[in-house]
Structure 1
Protein backbone atom coordinates (compact mmCIF):
# COMPACT_ATOMS: atom_id res chain seq x y z
CA UNK A 1 0.00 0.00 0.00
CA UNK A 2 1.00 3.56 -0.76
CA UNK A 3 -0.74 6.75 0.30
CA UNK A 4 -1.42 9.19 -2.54
CA UNK A 5 -2.23 12.75 -1.47
CA UNK A 6 -4.03 15.25 -3.68
CA UNK A 7 -1.93 17.95 -2.08
CA UNK A 8 -3.00 21.13 -3.88
CA UNK A 9 -5.40 22.07 -1.08
CA UNK A 10 -4.66 19.67 1.77
CA UNK A 11 -5.10 21.34 5.18
CA UNK A 12 -1.84 21.60 7.11
CA UNK A 13 -3.20 19.58 10.04
CA UNK A 14 -4.23 16.76 7.66
CA UNK A 15 -0.76 16.82 6.06
CA UNK A 16 0.78 16.40 9.52
CA UNK A 17 -1.49 13.44 10.29
CA UNK A 18 -0.58 11.80 6.98
CA UNK A 19 3.13 12.20 7.72
CA UNK A 20 2.79 10.80 11.24
CA UNK A 21 0.74 7.85 9.96
CA UNK A 22 3.24 7.13 7.18
CA UNK A 23 6.11 7.10 9.66
CA UNK A 24 4.26 5.05 12.29
CA UNK A 25 3.18 2.40 9.76
CA UNK A 26 6.26 2.63 7.52
CA UNK A 27 4.02 3.37 4.53
CA UNK A 28 5.16 5.53 1.60
CA UNK A 29 3.18 8.74 1.11
CA UNK A 30 3.31 10.54 -2.24
CA UNK A 31 2.14 14.16 -2.22
CA UNK A 32 1.09 15.33 -5.68
CA UNK A 33 0.54 19.00 -6.58
CA UNK A 34 1.32 21.50 -9.31
CA UNK A 35 3.64 23.39 -7.00
CA UNK A 36 6.03 22.04 -4.37
CA UNK A 37 4.95 21.79 -0.77
CA UNK A 38 7.41 21.51 2.06
CA UNK A 39 7.88 18.02 3.49
CA UNK A 40 10.31 16.85 6.11
CA UNK A 41 13.14 14.69 4.83
CA UNK A 42 12.14 11.04 4.97
CA UNK A 43 12.57 8.03 2.72
CA UNK A 44 8.81 7.48 3.17
CA UNK A 45 7.72 10.90 1.86
CA UNK A 46 7.81 12.02 -1.77
CA UNK A 47 6.76 15.30 -3.35
CA UNK A 48 5.71 14.95 -7.00
CA UNK A 49 5.21 18.21 -8.88
CA UNK A 50 3.03 17.94 -11.98
CA UNK A 51 2.68 20.58 -14.72
CA UNK A 52 0.27 23.47 -14.24
CA UNK A 53 -3.17 22.78 -15.64
CA UNK A 54 -6.67 21.66 -14.85
CA UNK A 55 -6.76 18.28 -13.04
CA UNK A 56 -3.09 17.45 -13.75
CA UNK A 57 -2.50 16.25 -10.18
CA UNK A 58 -5.76 14.28 -10.23
CA UNK A 59 -4.85 12.65 -13.53
CA UNK A 60 -1.40 11.69 -12.24
CA UNK A 61 -2.87 10.10 -9.11
CA UNK A 62 -5.57 8.26 -11.06
CA UNK A 63 -2.97 6.84 -13.46
CA UNK A 64 -0.42 5.95 -10.76
CA UNK A 65 -2.40 4.48 -7.87
CA UNK A 66 -3.03 0.76 -7.67
CA UNK A 67 -5.44 -1.67 -6.11
CA UNK A 68 -5.15 -1.43 -2.32
CA UNK A 69 -3.56 2.04 -2.25
CA UNK A 70 -5.11 4.88 -0.26
CA UNK A 71 -5.92 8.19 -1.94
CA UNK A 72 -6.52 11.32 0.15
CA UNK A 73 -8.69 13.78 -1.79
CA UNK A 74 -11.75 15.96 -1.59
CA UNK A 75 -12.19 15.70 -5.38
CA UNK A 76 -15.25 13.54 -6.03
CA UNK A 77 -14.46 12.62 -9.68
CA UNK A 78 -10.94 11.56 -8.66
CA UNK A 79 -12.38 9.52 -5.79
CA UNK A 80 -14.71 7.76 -8.24
CA UNK A 81 -11.87 7.01 -10.67
CA UNK A 82 -9.54 5.52 -8.07
CA UNK A 83 -12.31 3.48 -6.42
CA UNK A 84 -12.84 1.83 -9.81
CA UNK A 85 -9.17 0.80 -9.70
CA UNK A 86 -9.61 -0.78 -6.27
CA UNK A 87 -7.99 1.98 -4.24
CA UNK A 88 -9.41 3.25 -0.94
CA UNK A 89 -10.42 6.90 -0.62
CA UNK A 90 -10.47 9.21 2.39
CA UNK A 91 -11.40 12.90 2.29
CA UNK A 92 -9.39 15.37 4.38
CA UNK A 93 -12.51 15.73 6.55
CA UNK A 94 -12.55 12.01 7.37
CA UNK A 95 -15.22 10.76 4.93
CA UNK A 96 -14.40 7.28 3.64
CA UNK A 97 -15.70 6.95 0.10
CA UNK A 98 -16.66 3.56 -1.29
CA UNK A 99 -18.74 2.07 -4.09
CA UNK A 100 -21.89 2.47 -1.96
CA UNK A 101 -21.64 6.24 -1.43
CA UNK A 102 -19.54 7.71 -4.26
CA UNK A 103 -22.20 7.69 -6.99
CA UNK A 104 -24.57 9.75 -4.84
CA UNK A 105 -21.79 12.27 -4.13
CA UNK A 106 -20.84 12.37 -7.83
CA UNK A 107 -24.46 12.93 -8.87
CA UNK A 108 -24.88 15.75 -6.33
CA UNK A 109 -21.65 17.38 -7.46
CA UNK A 110 -22.74 17.22 -11.11
CA UNK A 111 -26.20 18.57 -10.22
CA UNK A 112 -24.74 21.53 -8.33
CA UNK A 113 -22.30 22.19 -11.18
CA UNK A 114 -25.20 22.23 -13.65
CA UNK A 115 -27.19 24.58 -11.42
CA UNK A 116 -24.24 26.99 -11.20
CA UNK A 117 -23.62 26.72 -14.95
CA UNK A 118 -27.20 27.63 -15.82
CA UNK A 119 -27.24 30.56 -13.42
CA UNK A 120 -29.83 29.04 -11.09
CA UNK A 121 -27.28 29.19 -8.28
CA UNK A 122 -25.21 32.31 -7.92
CA UNK A 123 -21.59 31.62 -7.03
CA UNK A 124 -21.76 34.44 -4.48
CA UNK A 125 -24.56 32.54 -2.73
CA UNK A 126 -22.21 29.62 -2.21
CA UNK A 127 -20.44 29.97 1.12
CA UNK A 128 -17.64 27.54 0.26
CA UNK A 129 -16.14 25.03 2.64
CA UNK A 130 -16.31 25.63 6.34
CA UNK A 131 -13.00 25.95 8.19
CA UNK A 132 -11.18 22.74 9.11
CA UNK A 133 -11.98 22.17 12.79
CA UNK A 134 -11.25 19.78 15.64
CA UNK A 135 -14.10 17.47 14.62
CA UNK A 136 -12.64 17.24 11.08
CA UNK A 137 -9.17 16.54 12.48
CA UNK A 138 -10.46 13.70 14.65
CA UNK A 139 -12.55 12.20 11.83
CA UNK A 140 -9.54 12.31 9.48
CA UNK A 141 -7.16 10.78 12.04
CA UNK A 142 -9.71 8.03 12.81
CA UNK A 143 -10.11 7.33 9.08
CA UNK A 144 -6.35 7.13 8.60
CA UNK A 145 -6.09 4.69 11.52
CA UNK A 146 -8.84 2.51 10.04
CA UNK A 147 -7.44 2.43 6.51
CA UNK A 148 -3.67 2.32 7.09
CA UNK A 149 -2.38 -0.54 9.22
Structure 2
Protein backbone atom coordinates (compact mmCIF):
# COMPACT_ATOMS: atom_id res chain seq x y z
CA UNK A 1 0.00 0.00 0.00
CA UNK A 2 1.36 3.43 -0.91
CA UNK A 3 1.12 6.30 1.50
CA UNK A 4 -0.79 9.36 0.31
CA UNK A 5 1.30 12.45 -0.30
CA UNK A 6 0.89 15.07 2.43
CA UNK A 7 -1.40 17.96 1.64
CA UNK A 8 0.42 21.01 0.29
CA UNK A 9 -1.03 24.33 1.41
CA UNK A 10 -1.34 26.75 -1.50
CA UNK A 11 -2.02 30.47 -1.44
CA UNK A 12 -3.93 32.01 -4.34
CA UNK A 13 -3.81 35.79 -4.68
CA UNK A 14 -6.39 37.77 -6.64
CA UNK A 15 -3.57 40.12 -7.49
CA UNK A 16 -4.60 42.97 -9.77
CA UNK A 17 -5.33 45.42 -6.95
CA UNK A 18 -3.94 43.47 -3.99
CA UNK A 19 -1.95 45.68 -1.58
CA UNK A 20 -0.49 42.79 0.47
CA UNK A 21 1.45 40.72 -2.06
CA UNK A 22 4.76 41.39 -0.26
CA UNK A 23 3.25 40.16 3.01
CA UNK A 24 2.03 37.00 1.28
CA UNK A 25 5.55 36.36 -0.05
CA UNK A 26 7.05 36.86 3.41
CA UNK A 27 4.67 34.42 5.13
CA UNK A 28 4.91 31.87 2.31
CA UNK A 29 8.71 31.95 2.46
CA UNK A 30 8.64 31.38 6.22
CA UNK A 31 6.41 28.30 5.89
CA UNK A 32 7.64 26.98 2.54
CA UNK A 33 4.30 27.45 0.77
CA UNK A 34 3.44 27.72 -2.91
CA UNK A 35 1.95 31.06 -4.02
CA UNK A 36 0.00 31.63 -7.21
CA UNK A 37 -0.41 35.26 -8.27
CA UNK A 38 -3.41 35.53 -10.62
CA UNK A 39 -4.05 38.69 -12.60
CA UNK A 40 -5.56 40.01 -15.81
CA UNK A 41 -2.32 41.76 -16.75
CA UNK A 42 1.39 41.16 -16.34
CA UNK A 43 2.66 41.86 -12.82
CA UNK A 44 6.24 41.70 -11.60
CA UNK A 45 6.72 38.98 -9.02
CA UNK A 46 9.87 37.80 -7.27
CA UNK A 47 11.75 35.08 -9.14
CA UNK A 48 11.32 32.23 -6.71
CA UNK A 49 10.47 28.63 -7.57
CA UNK A 50 7.57 28.69 -5.11
CA UNK A 51 5.91 31.74 -6.72
CA UNK A 52 3.86 31.16 -9.85
CA UNK A 53 2.47 33.97 -11.99
CA UNK A 54 -0.72 33.29 -13.94
CA UNK A 55 -1.99 35.92 -16.36
CA UNK A 56 -5.51 35.20 -17.54
CA UNK A 57 -7.47 37.00 -20.23
CA UNK A 58 -9.29 40.26 -19.67
CA UNK A 59 -12.79 38.78 -19.58
CA UNK A 60 -14.80 40.03 -16.59
CA UNK A 61 -14.15 37.76 -13.57
CA UNK A 62 -11.68 35.57 -15.47
CA UNK A 63 -9.10 35.72 -12.67
CA UNK A 64 -11.84 34.97 -10.14
CA UNK A 65 -13.03 31.97 -12.14
CA UNK A 66 -9.47 30.64 -12.46
CA UNK A 67 -8.94 30.82 -8.70
CA UNK A 68 -12.38 29.44 -7.80
CA UNK A 69 -11.85 26.41 -10.06
CA UNK A 70 -8.68 25.46 -8.18
CA UNK A 71 -9.04 26.59 -4.55
CA UNK A 72 -10.35 24.12 -2.05
CA UNK A 73 -9.92 22.65 1.40
CA UNK A 74 -6.44 23.38 2.69
CA UNK A 75 -5.89 26.43 0.50
CA UNK A 76 -5.86 30.15 1.29
CA UNK A 77 -7.28 32.76 -1.06
CA UNK A 78 -6.41 36.45 -0.71
CA UNK A 79 -9.07 38.65 -2.27
CA UNK A 80 -11.18 41.73 -1.67
CA UNK A 81 -13.78 40.36 -4.08
CA UNK A 82 -16.76 39.17 -2.02
CA UNK A 83 -18.32 36.88 -4.68
CA UNK A 84 -14.94 35.15 -5.20
CA UNK A 85 -14.50 34.80 -1.43
CA UNK A 86 -17.96 33.24 -1.21
CA UNK A 87 -17.13 30.67 -3.90
CA UNK A 88 -13.84 29.78 -2.21
CA UNK A 89 -15.36 29.43 1.26
CA UNK A 90 -18.02 27.11 -0.18
CA UNK A 91 -15.19 25.02 -1.67
CA UNK A 92 -13.55 24.71 1.75
CA UNK A 93 -10.74 27.27 1.37
CA UNK A 94 -9.89 30.05 3.81
CA UNK A 95 -10.61 33.41 2.17
CA UNK A 96 -8.93 36.53 3.55
CA UNK A 97 -9.45 40.15 2.62
CA UNK A 98 -6.31 42.32 2.41
CA UNK A 99 -7.36 44.04 5.66
CA UNK A 100 -7.18 40.70 7.49
CA UNK A 101 -10.92 40.04 7.61
CA UNK A 102 -11.61 36.33 7.22
CA UNK A 103 -14.64 35.43 5.17
CA UNK A 104 -16.65 32.59 6.73
CA UNK A 105 -19.88 30.76 5.98
CA UNK A 106 -21.52 33.01 8.56
CA UNK A 107 -20.12 36.32 7.29
CA UNK A 108 -20.04 35.91 3.52
CA UNK A 109 -23.83 36.20 3.05
CA UNK A 110 -23.91 39.52 4.91
CA UNK A 111 -20.83 40.70 3.01
CA UNK A 112 -22.53 39.89 -0.32
CA UNK A 113 -25.72 41.70 0.73
CA UNK A 114 -23.74 44.75 1.89
CA UNK A 115 -21.72 44.74 -1.33
CA UNK A 116 -24.90 44.64 -3.45
CA UNK A 117 -26.54 47.42 -1.41
CA UNK A 118 -23.47 49.66 -1.70
CA UNK A 119 -23.31 49.01 -5.46
CA UNK A 120 -26.98 49.99 -5.81
CA UNK A 121 -26.41 53.16 -3.76
CA UNK A 122 -23.36 54.11 -5.86
CA UNK A 123 -25.31 53.55 -9.08
CA UNK A 124 -28.11 55.76 -7.75
CA UNK A 125 -25.55 58.48 -6.94
CA UNK A 126 -26.18 58.32 -3.20
CA UNK A 127 -22.55 57.38 -2.47
CA UNK A 128 -19.70 58.92 -4.40
CA UNK A 129 -16.68 57.98 -2.29
CA UNK A 130 -14.71 54.78 -2.38
CA UNK A 131 -13.38 52.57 0.37
CA UNK A 132 -11.25 54.00 3.16
CA UNK A 133 -7.50 54.12 2.48
CA UNK A 134 -5.45 51.00 3.25
CA UNK A 135 -3.56 51.51 6.51
CA UNK A 136 -0.58 50.01 8.36
CA UNK A 137 -3.13 48.61 10.85
CA UNK A 138 -4.84 46.77 7.96
CA UNK A 139 -1.48 45.37 6.82
CA UNK A 140 -0.70 44.15 10.33
CA UNK A 141 -4.16 42.58 10.72
CA UNK A 142 -3.66 40.78 7.40
CA UNK A 143 -0.29 39.36 8.46
CA UNK A 144 -1.83 37.99 11.66
CA UNK A 145 -4.82 36.52 9.84
CA UNK A 146 -2.62 34.87 7.19
CA UNK A 147 -0.36 33.37 9.84
CA UNK A 148 -3.40 31.98 11.73
CA UNK A 149 -4.82 30.50 8.51
CA UNK A 150 -1.53 28.76 7.71
CA UNK A 151 -1.28 27.38 11.25
CA UNK A 152 -4.89 26.14 11.08
CA UNK A 153 -4.20 24.11 7.94
CA UNK A 154 -0.86 22.84 9.25
CA UNK A 155 -2.57 21.53 12.40
CA UNK A 156 -5.46 20.05 10.48
CA UNK A 157 -3.23 18.23 7.99
CA UNK A 158 -0.49 17.35 10.46
CA UNK A 159 2.25 19.18 8.56
Q: Which runs of 5+ in 2 are unaligned?
A: 1-8, 152-159
Normalized against structure 1, the TM-score is what?
0.91
Residue 144 of structure 2, aligned match among 142, 145, 148: 142
Residue 6 of structure 1, aligned match among 11, 14, 18: 14
Q: Give the total of aligned pairs.
A: 143
Deviations along 1:9-64, one digit per CA (max 9) or x if unpaired, are 011xx111100111110010100001121111111101100001211100110111
Q: Which residue of 2 aligns with 1:107?
A: 113
Which secondary structure does the structure 2 equivalent of 1:148 belong to? helix
Q: How big is the shift at 1:112? A: 2.1
Which secondary structure does the structure 2 equivalent of 1:5 belong to? strand
**CA contact under 8 A between 2:56 and 2:62: conserved in structure 1?**
yes
Q: How big is the shift at 1:114? A: 2.9
Task: Select the structure of larger CA radius of gyration.
Answer: 2
Residue 74 of structure 1, aligned match among 74, 80, 93: 80
Q: How big is the shift at 1:7? A: 0.2
**CA contact under 8 A between 2:122 and 2:128: conserved in structure 1?**
no
Q: How big is the shift at 1:148? A: 1.3
Residue 25 of structure 1, aligned match among 11, 17, 31: 31
CA distance in 2: counterparts of 1:36 and 1:113, whole angstroms? 28
Q: Which runs of 5+ in 1 are unaligned?
A: none
Normalized against structure 2, the TM-score is what?
0.85
CA distance in 2: counterparts of 1:5 and 1:126, whole angstroms? 28
Which secondary structure does the structure 2 equivalent of 1:8 belong to? coil
